[in-house]
Structures are given as C-alpha cells and as structure tokens.
A and B are shown apart, each in its own frame.
Chain A
Amino acid sequence: MADYYEQKDLADFAHIGEYAPELGKKYFDYYGEALKDGALSAREKALIALAVATTQHCPYCIDAYTNQCLSLGVSQEEMMEAVHVGSAMVAGIVLAHSTQMRKIIKKKEM
C-alpha cells in the first residue's frame, strides 16, 4: 500500500483540478462552503469529516481531519466518540442489510 498512499501526496490535493480546472474550482468552492462555519460550527463539521474519513478508510482525510480537529481544540475523547459514531453506523448498515438475508431465508425455508 505504501506505493499508493504516501503522506506527502496529501499536499497534492490542492492540484486535483489539473486537467479539469473549471470542475476543480467548482469542487473547491463547494468544499469550502460545505465545511465552513454555518448552522453547524466548523468544529462540528470537522468531527463529521473525521468520522467519514475513517469509515471511508481515506488516509489523506484521516491525516487532514485529525490535524484539523486538533487545531480547532477538539479533545481526544470527542474525536474517538466521533469515530465510534462512524463505526456504529457502519456496523448498523451491515446489520440492516441482513434484512435481505432474513427475508430470503424466510421465503425459502419450509
């Protein structure tokens, strides 16, 4: 995996608009708007982003949002609780899909 994910590549995120600058700009404008202080604080949004980063297994985002949370004064306990929310959601999503399995079992069994 080391060849695919390198910490220094996080800095390359600023260049993802290469080859499609207009779309890149639209994305960054949207990203900036979505993450800034609003009805939810930047702090709360950073915690949501951290939970998403871990559930989506993105090492760049985990690096970026762990740092962002630290910068915004989020405590270790708050960060770990956010990760547990993501973890519980993923577990719940997996278990919710057992509905299909249970429906099929019930239909097929004699």
Chain B
Amino acid sequence: MDEPRIHPSFEQKMAAPLKAEGIDTFQINLGYRCNLECRHCHVEAGPNRRELLSRAVMEMCLQVLQCHPIPTIDITGGTPEMHPDFPWFLEECAALDRRILVRTNGVILLEGPYTPFLNLYAKHRVEVVVSFPHVDMKMTNRQRGEGVYSRLIEAVRMLNARGYGQPGSGLILNLVHNPSGAYLPGLQNSLENHYRQALKEKHGIVFNQLFCITNMPIGRYLTFLKKTENYEEYMTALVNAFNPATLESVMCKYSLSVGWDGKLYDCDFNQMLGMTVNHGAPEHIEMFDLNSLANRRIVTGNHCYGCTAGAGSSCRGEIA
C-alpha cells in the first residue's frame, strides 16, 4: 500500500529547526524483550525479541553518567526487568545518586523470578512508571492481552503495600495512559481525575500522577492504523492538532536516548525508526561528547506530530 502523503510535512510546519537545550534525562533502552505484546507498542517488544543492551554498553553508560551530572536516569525497554544484568545495572545507577525512573509493564512484577524487583525498587527509591492504558478491564485486555488488567491491579496493590503512590512516602508511582484505538488522548487532568476515582472506588489502589501519552504512528500501532484504514485520518487529526506551544518543552530538547546497541537517538521513537542523532553529533555512546550533544539539532520526521498535537506528549505526559 502506498504511504499517504502527510501535508504539510513536520519540517514544513516548523518555523526553525528544533535544537536541544541540554541533557536533563539520560534514557536507556535495555532492549526489546517483554512478556507482553501490546497492540499499541511502538517498540514491537515481545518474548521473542533478542535485542538486549550488552554489559559493555551498560558500562559505557555508567561511565558517561559518572563523568556528567545528568540529573535523571530513565530506564525503559521492553520491560527492563527481563534484562539479566538489570539488577546489577540498577545497583550501579543507584550508587550514582541520581533520580532513577523505571518504565515497567507492571505485570512482570508478579512473575516468579522478577518479584524481587518490588523491594529493589523501593530500596533504591526508584520512580516506577507503569503502563496502564485504561480503567476499563475490557479495553486494557484488548490492548495488552487477556488477563492483564487484573494482574496490573494486583501489581499496583503490591507497590502500594510498599508505600508506592501513598501520600508522604516519597515513593513515586506514576501510571501511563495510552489511547486504546485510533484517537488522541484527552486532557491529562480530566483523565487523571477519572483514573484516581475509578481505581480507588473499584480496587482501593492509589498512584501519584497519570501521564497521557499519544500513540505514535510507529511499530505495532502503525500496523494497526494501516490494517484498519485509520492511518490517514489519524495523521490528519495529529496534523490538525499541531500546537506550536509544545515545541518549547518536547522531550527531545532535554533528553538523550541510548539504544540497546549503544547508538544515540533524540528519543525512543527515533530509535525505533533507526534515526540516530545527526547534524554533527556523535551517534554512538563510545563517542559521547556532552557539548555537541547538548546543543545538537534534533532529527525530526512526520511522527513528531505525535508529540506536538494538542496538549503535547512526552514520556512524562502532557507538555503544554
């Protein structure tokens, strides 16, 4: 099928090229292995994926972090727990005394060999970010697999029992909402209120913040859009919702993404598209150079409409 043309292209829409303004967040993708195969996953993660960050690249990441006071370490995947060296890597990151975020699918924390992460996260005061697309069981299960909703509730209960999401504990539990179909997320504040009330009333569970993340037209979600003939309408909705105010705070301006093979990207989405940093900035962790990376020109494409639509979208939800 021919790719429908996106008009105007993201580059045409921009008044000037997007440039980074420092690196506050060092995001590391430990690999594409996951025990789920969610239908919206831009990574196309799953149990059969073999891509995993090598120990050597992990050591290079730690060295970069030791040399540069980047305040936030953001660990993602796949689900990071399935990387065999993750416990070691987490301990090493914790020793650096930075803010650490782990993006988990949540349900992995109930699986036998991975249950120790519940205590490990609490011990190192890791901020846990759990994918939780909908408060409706049927919608979540359709998106993430049969039985996932009830396991998620159980996982959040176990995190709550350790203090996560509880007022005053300082243990942060944030949830991520992704639309369960070919539409954009609603306002974060409205959805957060709805989640808070529904999860408390139905299950007695609590959390800190809800991040609303727009599904990117990449990976499995792109396949879904095309298969259901929603691609054109979805892209039109993204283009029509373009909000220049989001350009101030798009995550690529303040973060750097490290791929499983050590390559550097402006974001996790560019990573999935194989678009490494460019315009003179080094494209591999081996050649890390803070000065050139902190001021690099961002590599953009039409998928960037996903982060700039409406109230915007980032790994921490809305941005405008």
B-chain residues with CB within 8 Å of residue A70 when the two chains form the complex: 179-181, 183
A interface footprint on B230-273 (CB within 8 Å = 1, 0 otherwise) = 00010011001000000000000000000000000000000000
Main secondary structure of the interface of A (DSSP, over half): helix
Q: How far is the CB of A3 from chain B (nearest CB, A)?
A: 20
Contact digits for B175-200, partner A, Cβ 8 Å, 1 yes 0 no: 00101110111110111011100000
Interface residues on B, range: 20 to 34
A7 CA / B232 CA spacing, docked (Å): 12
A72, B240: Cβ atoms under 8 Å? no
B139 in the interface (beta carbon within 8 A): yes
Q: How far is the CB of A35 from chain B (nearest CB, A)?
A: 11
B135 partner residues in chain A, CB cutoff 8 A: 73
* Interface bin, chain A: 10 to 19
Tell whether, in the assembled complex, residue B139 and residue A71 are in contact, meaning their CB atoms are under 8 Å apart. Answer: no
User: Is there a chain A Cβ closer than 8 Å to B136's Cβ?
Assistant: yes
Within 8 Å by CB of A43, from B190, B236, B237, lies: B190
Determine if B183 and A43 form an interchain contact, defined as CB atoms under 8 angstroms apart. no
| B residues in contact with A72, CB < 8 Å | 186-187, 190-191, 194
Give the residue name and chain of the A residue nearest to B177 (CB): A73
A-B contact pairs, 9 of them (CB 8 A): A11-B236, A41-B190, A42-B190, A67-B183, A68-B186, A71-B184, A73-B134, A73-B177, A73-B195
Binding site for A on B (CB under 8 A): 134-136, 138-139, 177, 179-181, 183-187, 189-191, 193-195, 233, 236-237, 240
